[in-house]
Amino acid sequence: MKKDAFTCSKQDCTYALTGTCLESIIEPTSNCPNLTVKGTAPPIAPTDLRDEAEAHEEYVRQFPPGLELGLQDIARIMRSRYARLIGVLGQVEAGKTCLFTSMYLRLTGRHMCPHFRFVTSETLLGFEQRARHLRDWSSGGVPEQIVDHTQLGHSRSPAFLHLAISDQVGRRHDFLLPDLPGEWTTRLLSDAGTSERFSFLYRSDAVLIVVEGPRFSNPRTRNNAITDVTHLLDRLANDIRLAKFTPVILAVTKCDKTDGKIPAELDRVVAVAADHGYSVTPVALAAFPTAPSTIPTGYGIDKLLSLLTASPASEGAACDAFVEGAERSYLKARG
């Protein structure tokens, strides 16, 4: 039977035109429960109590657990609407999870209105789990450990957080943020063979390299800090082969200890990035400053969001690399 004789209950499914199943099911005409012959009624729902329970369980499983998303989950989101996938790299204690948590709390607390407003998240439980130490904040000051160290159950697949916001003119922006353990970045520096873990960066709209500002201003640590981040740029260019048109943002954390400024030593990093063909923008950040009366909580996050919500430079190039006129959100989801 011809492929155009079938219809699919899944939104945006193009099987009738392309013969390709969105769910990547082999022989979808006989194996896909969403595909039916045109003119036939959908299958009758089971009436047996046990069958009803099983059917209900199957429908429930279609919703993400709320902690984090896997690659199949983000593919579903990117098929339904344009979503910006942001690559995030940074060693242990660089402040990646603190940055995401501060961003979430500033948005949900309406501290960034009217420039940015929180819309929704498919990983609310994940954000709340990361912020639970702050929920127990006492008058004694900043807790010693604000968020837990990120750990992944799967050693090869990244986990993502989802955040949807709207800007001042009401445009919605969906972000997919990988919260990777710092050990992944450290291992990448010593072993180029681990670069395949970061294959999702091919689809990214921007890449954040998270570094600690004080390490660059301290004479004892700045040489090692510069070596590490320039070596990471070399890995991006030569091993991961990140596209040159991908914007790279240098997220400089803990800048409450550098008076809110970006250490001058990072100019060398920007120059090395330019030699590799990348355009790098440094941003001074302080997710949870120790003295918020001097440097406010969430310092620099508004500037970071302004950069992330800008029209991605890779949009036109990514479309041209596939099919003329094709929808980029769908193409990136399929890789």
pLDDT exceeds cutoff 80 at 29: no
CB 279 within 8 A of CB 236: no
Structure confidence at residue 16 as a pLDDT band (50, 70, 90): low
CA distance 21 to 27: 9
Of the two residues 80 and 164, the one the predictor is more confident about is: 164
Give the residue from 263, 288, 272, 141 showing the smallest Cα distance to 212: 263
Structure confidence by residue, pLDDT tens digits, 246-256: 999 999 999 99
- Please say if the pLDDT value at position 227 is more than 90: yes
Average pLDDT of 11-18?
63
Q: What is the mean pLDDT of residues 9-16?
A: 65
Side chain identity at residue 220, one-letter code: R
54 against 9, higher pLDDT: 9
pLDDT at 46: 45
Q: Classify 71 as helix, strand or coil.
A: helix
User: What are the CA-CA distances from residue 144 to residues 179, 202, 290 (Å)?
Assistant: 21, 36, 11
Rounded to whole angstroms, the Cα distance separating 217 from 142 reads 23
Domain map (residue ranges) of the chain: 3-60, 71-334
- 290: its two tokens: 């120790």
- SS3 at position 293: coil
Mean pLDDT for 204-228 is 95
**Residues with Cβ within 8 Å of residue 163, at least 6 apart in sequence:** 103, 104, 107, 118, 121, 123, 127, 174, 175, 177
Q: How confident is the model at residue 58 (pLDDT cuts 50, 70, 90)?
A: very low
Q: What is the dihedral of CA 265, 271, 273, 275, to 10 degrees?
A: -150
Say what the pLDDT of residue 200 is. Answer: 86
Neighbours of 220 (CB within 10 A): 7
Is it the case that residue 48 has pLDDT exceeding 80? no
Token look-up 């030699």 returns 275
Cα 226 to Cα 42, 103, 173, 181, 288, distances in angstroms:
61, 26, 33, 21, 24
For the chain, what is the mean pLDDT?
Answer: 78
pLDDT above 60: residue 6: yes
Q: Which two tokens stand for residue 216?
A: 């660059």
Axis crossing angle, helix 266-275 with helix 222-235, rounded to the nearest 10: 20
Q: How confident is the model at residue 329 (pLDDT cuts 50, 70, 90)?
A: very low
In the three-class reduction of DSSP (H, G, I as helix; E, B as strand; rest coil), residue 161 is classed as strand
Q: Is 152 exposed, middle or buried (0-12, 13-18, 19+ CB in 10 A)?
A: middle
Overall average pLDDT of the 175-200 stretch: 90
Q: Write down the pLDDT at residue 275.
A: 96
Helix (H, G, I), strand (E, B) or coil at 62: coil
Note the pLDDT of residue 15. Answer: 64
Q: Is the pLDDT of residue 265 over 60?
A: yes
CA 42 to CA 35: how far, in whole Å?
Answer: 9
State the amino acid at position 77 in one-letter form. I
Average confidence (pLDDT) over 167-195: 91
CB 55 within 8 A of CB 44: no
At residue 213, does pLDDT exceed 70?
yes
Class of domain 71-334: alpha beta
Each residue's pLDDT tens digit, 287-318: 999 887 889 999 999 999 999 998 554 443 33
| Listed residue (87, 93, 97) closest to 221, CA to CA | 93
- Tell me the C-alpha distance between 59 and 100, whole Å: 30
Percent of the chain with pLDDT over 70: 69
Whether residue 211 has pLDDT greater than 70: yes
List the structure tokens of 307. Answer: 């950069």
Query: pLDDT, tens digit, for every residue of 102-159?
Result: 999 999 999 999 999 999 999 998 888 888 766 554 444 454 444 444 444 444 467 8
What is the DSSP-derived secondary structure letter of residue 138?
-
Rank 10-14, 184-188, 230-234 by mean pLDDT and report only the highest: 230-234
pLDDT reading at 13 higher than 90: no
